A = this chain, B = another copy of it.
């Protein structure tokens, strides 16, 4: 995978470039987000930040997350009844495969999206700006556990 340090530098540059301040709390958040492969929730990000900044509040997490969303630097996955998950590593729409057993989320390879969007736009006349494509099911491990319970 790509160098997450590089992604961090990019995030820092974007935040500063738009005239926003780089506080220690934000830097800590950017570090977490830059290398997040697991699509953490706001609360999970919060928990990791708390190690370094015990007084950090969830509200600040949400505020910075919102800022990054507006700048297009994080992707928000809103999963029903699971709350929102964030991806600052690949901040553009891409498919997800989500285990309904353990909650694991994968980013599968899927190249045909551009063409599908073109097709949908042509069929409906909509000007499509973004999309979400999520698959739900059991991951291999959860399938096994289902069949051969402890």
Contact = CB atoms under 8 A, between A and B. Distances in A.
Contacts of A125: 139-140
Contacts of A108: 120, 123-124
A78 B77 CA distance: 11
A144 B131 CA distance: 21
Contact of A139 (B84, B106, B123, B126): B126
How extensive is the interface on chain A, given as a class? 35 or more
A131 B138 contact: no
Interface stretch (A20-28, A45-53, A57-65, A92-100): A92-100
Contacts of A78: 78-81
B120 A95 contact: yes
| Nearest 6 Cβ contacts at the A-B interface | A78-B80, A128-B137, A125-B140, A126-B137, A131-B135, A129-B137
Interface in A62-78: 76, 78
A114 to B, nearest CB: 12
B100 A124 contact: no
Interface in A107-129: 108-110, 112, 116-117, 119-121, 123-129
Given A109-B123, A120-B108, A128 B97 contact: yes
Contacts of A112: 116
B140 A136 contact: no
A100 B131 CA distance: 11
Given A131-B136, A133-B131, A97 B81 contact: no
